Amino acid sequence: MSDLVEIRVVCTVERALKKLHDGGIPVYRLREQGAKLSFCVREEYVEKVFAIFAHRCYNIGIGRFSAKKRLVNALIARIGLVIGALLFIAVALMANALVLRIEVTGNGAYLAPDVIAAARECGFAEWTTARNADAPALSARVLSMNGVTFCSVKRKGSCVVIEVVCGDEGGKGADYRDLISPEGGTVVSLVAVCGTPLVEEGQEVAAGDRLIGAYSLSEDGTQRPCLAAGFVRILVTRSQSVFFTQENEDNAAIALGITSLYCEKAESKSYTVSPCEGGYVYDVTFTYIYSASINME
């Protein structure tokens, strides 16, 4: 039985059985352990047993709680871990339900600012469920952009991936565009296979800044249009806050795990904890490398 509680009392078997029988208390697993007597009763009779042996000469105590009581005590002792696990599950489910990032791939990634703006207008805005988003309308808008020959919109967890392919169509010339920075941060490296690099390593850039210009420079400084081709690696720094009701190592690990929503590998990550009403706020700061390219496929 899962509701049996083990009682230990200093008393003779005859006296104990008489008292328990007179009290109408069923007894299980009766054993003598030297001067002590060990027996089990159902949890509902525990208070009554202690009342029967209330005299101090009996020296009564609980040897083992019931299975249900031990389970409750174990859960209470690990309440922080339980709450942390539940919050982690809730964060993971919420992350998959919300759009956290819009990514533009393909050789038309240089159109990222225009494509992302169109995506938001079609219902694919960050920090929304995008439940009413119109993927066909977004594809039609992207395909109407100059030079775009193919567009696909896919939802991958918390990320909306928009593949944009550009190419010659109907005898039209190539669409010369600059490589635009999709993220703000510090330029780690930049390679311009074709075109003119407009930033240097170590330089701070903002989202929307021009990185590689779709032109070349002659010896006299004249600009000549050309197809921009190359790639850039940007060190991005982000901060995210997470609320917990308790401050402990398990919640710290869960808070640091939020970096996986933004990147596969964080270059660095740290956190600070601030008390607030009802709990604690973990402010997580992390860095990761974001790669962008144009005409490299």
In three state form, how does the secondary structure of 24-60 look?
A: CCCCEEEEEECCEEEEEEEHHHHHHHHHHCCCHHHCE
**What is the structure's pLDDT at 169?**
46
**What is the structure's pLDDT at 174?**
46
Ranked by mean pLDDT, the top range of 9-23, 45-59, 197-211 is 197-211
Q: Are 228 and 110 in contact (CB under 8 A)?
A: yes
pLDDT tens sequence across 51-108: 777 766 566 767 566 556 656 665 565 666 667 766 766 665 565 678 888 999 988 8
Whole-angstrom distance, CA of residue 265 vs CA of residue 124 = 25
30-44, 115-129, 130-144, 254-268: range with lowest mean pLDDT: 30-44
Give me 113's structure tokens.
Answer: 């600012």
Whole-angstrom distance, CA of residue 63 vs CA of residue 68 = 15
CA distances from 116 to 22, 153, 158, 175 (A): 81, 12, 15, 19
- Average pLDDT (233-241) is 92
Residue 196: other Cβ atoms inside 10 A: 18
Helix axes 79-97, 249-256, angle to 10 degrees: 10
93-97, 158-162, 224-228, 253-257: range with lowest mean pLDDT: 93-97
Torsion, CA 126, CA 128, CA 132, CA 137, rounded to 10 = 0
**What is the structure's pLDDT at 13?**
73
Give me 233's structure tokens.
Answer: 């690696």
Whole-angstrom distance, CA of residue 40 vs CA of residue 3 = 10
**What is the structure's pLDDT at 175?**
46
Say how many Å lie between the first and final Cα of the chain, rounded: 68
Position 110 confidence tier, pLDDT thresholds 50, 70, 90:
confident
- Arithmetic mean of pLDDT over the chain: 81
Q: Are 110 and 177 in contact (CB under 8 A)?
A: yes
User: If we measure between CA atoms, which residue out of 146, 68, 67 comes closest to residue 111?
Assistant: 146
Amino acid in the structure at residue 136: P
Position 170 confidence tier, pLDDT thresholds 50, 70, 90:
very low
The fraction of the chain above a pLDDT of 90, given in percent, is 21
**What is the structure's pLDDT at 43?**
79
| Beta-bridge partner residues of 32 | 37
Whole-angstrom distance, CA of residue 290 vs CA of residue 265 = 10
Sequential DSSP letters for 99-132: --EEEEESTTGGGHHHHHHHHHHTT--TTS--TT
Torsion, CA 286, CA 289, CA 294, CA 297, rounded to 10 = -130
**What is the structure's pLDDT at 95?**
53
